[in-house]
Amino acid sequence: MEGEEARAPLLQPRGEAAGAAAAVQGRARQEALRWWVESKKLWQIVGPAILQRIALYAINVVSQAFIGHLGDLELAAFSIAATVVAGFNFGFLLGMASALETLCGQAFGAKKHHMLGVYLQRSWVVLLIFAAALTPTYIFMEDLLLLIGQSPELSRLAGQMSVWLLPQHFAMAMLLPLTRFLQSQLKNWVTAITAGVALAIHIVVTYVLVQHLSLGIVGAVAAADLSWWLVVLGQFVYVVGGGCPLSWKGFSMEAFADFWEFIKLSSASGVMLCLENWYYRVLVLLTGYLKNAEIAVDALSICQTINGWEMMIPFGFLAATGVRVANELGAGSGKGARFAIVVSITTSAVIGVVFWGLILYFDDKIALLFTSSEPVLRAVHNLSVLLAFTILLNSVQPVLSGKQAAC
């Protein structure tokens, strides 16, 4: 026993210990470098994707802010029309377009560039067909609200607004495929610039129509319609005008090949994402049955607008995760795809923690952007803690959806 203890040194030789420490440091540096490289690739997509989504979301936020200062009823009606009806349909179209992230991302990773243009045209056709099928939900909005027991005055104004939201509805069907087509090729600056320019124009046009021409809610919504179509026009001109020479070869009848399979894939993606999105919209609708419905709808819609604005960050990570995973899978690298998922989820979660703290700190101060009504501000104050934790949880969930869609 004593002989064995004598043969087992208490300390490793200095050279071996130093070598082991150097090996650990080397592995740590290698892992840190790996994270750095993947983060750079991720943020090349995430940065412009977030800027574009925030700018597009801000178009309707600006309209909501102008409408909110017109009165509580106007804000409640806009919330019902934009959050419920447009939100329902947007969730479905967004989910359908996410199928394009997978297809275009894998085609780009496999260097089958010509197929990206075919997938884009196929997605346009499918989304426009479904957008046309969903149109009655806008036209008969007033009747639907009356049918489920909403107040006549709120139903009438919300129905009027929903009809004016129809141009945005079809703009989404065109824009969502365009954005994913460009992002899959890492042409993210195009999407960010077009959205940013449209937002700047929107602020000016909305101010003129609402404040100077006194067109009220119609002016605010019409300005948003114009701005959405400006984004579509900018990206469309870039694509067909020679900005994507490898992936855009002109319109082709090949877009109608495997049409039914594409519809099934897009529909499955649409149902998956919209079910995750719709439960928020139902909450706004249900608050219309509460006592002081206008105040309740206003407060909840403001919280959901703040949540939705911040959600553009994880939605940006959703898009980036879909593209990065699809690129790695298209290139035959399963390990690269898994690592991209880990980096994306971790980064999005850290950002979620930061915004969780900001919401708790600023409480109801952000609501002043949308209203000066004291009852509404108090209601937002009461919801602020729930809002903060909702934002924290939602920082991860959309990214996981991007992983599922890409895989």
Q: 244-264 pLDDT, tens per residue?
A: 998 998 888 887 877 777 777
Which of the four pLDDT bands, split at 50, 70 and 90, describes residue 291?
Answer: low
pLDDT at 5 over 50: no
DSSP 49-110: HHHHHHHHHHHHHHHHHHHHTT-HHHHHHHIIIIIIIIHHHHHHHHHHHHHHHHHHHHHHHT
Per-residue pLDDT, averaged over 298-325, amounts to: 77
Selected residue with higher pLDDT from 21 and 3: 21
What's the pLDDT score for residue 18? 63
In angstroms, rounded to a whole number, what is the distance separating the alpha carbons of residues 190 and 72? 38
Residues in contact with 179: Cβ distance below 8 Å, sequence separation at least 6, in sequence order: 52, 97, 191, 235, 319
- What residue type is assigned to position 268 of the chain? A
Which of the residue ranges 31-40, 93-102, 191-200 would you say has the lowest mean pLDDT?
93-102
Q: How many CB atoms lie within 10 A of CB 55?
A: 23
DSSP 230-247: HHHHHHHHHIIIII-TTT
Instruction: Please write the tens of the pLDDT for every residue from 20-51.
Output: 666 667 777 887 888 888 888 888 878 888 88
Per-residue pLDDT, averaged over 94-119, amounts to: 82
pLDDT at 9 over 60: no
Tokens 């104004």 correspond to what residue? 157
pTM of the model: 0.73
Would you list the domain boundaries of the chain?
46-406
What's the pLDDT score for residue 401? 58
What's the pLDDT score for residue 4? 47
Selected residue with higher pLDDT from 373 and 407: 373
In angstroms, rounded to a whole number, what is the distance separating the alpha carbons of residues 327 and 336? 9
Q: What is the DSSP letter of 211?
A: I
Per-residue pLDDT, averaged over 173-197, amounts to: 90
In angstroms, rounded to a whole number, what is the distance separating the alpha carbons of residues 26 and 153? 69
CA angle 407, 184, 109 (to 5 degrees): 65
What's the pLDDT score for residue 205? 95
What's the pLDDT score for residue 17? 61
In angstroms, rounded to a whole number, what is the distance separating the alpha carbons of residues 202 and 225? 9
pLDDT at 383 over 50: yes
Per-residue pLDDT, averaged over 58-75, amounts to: 84
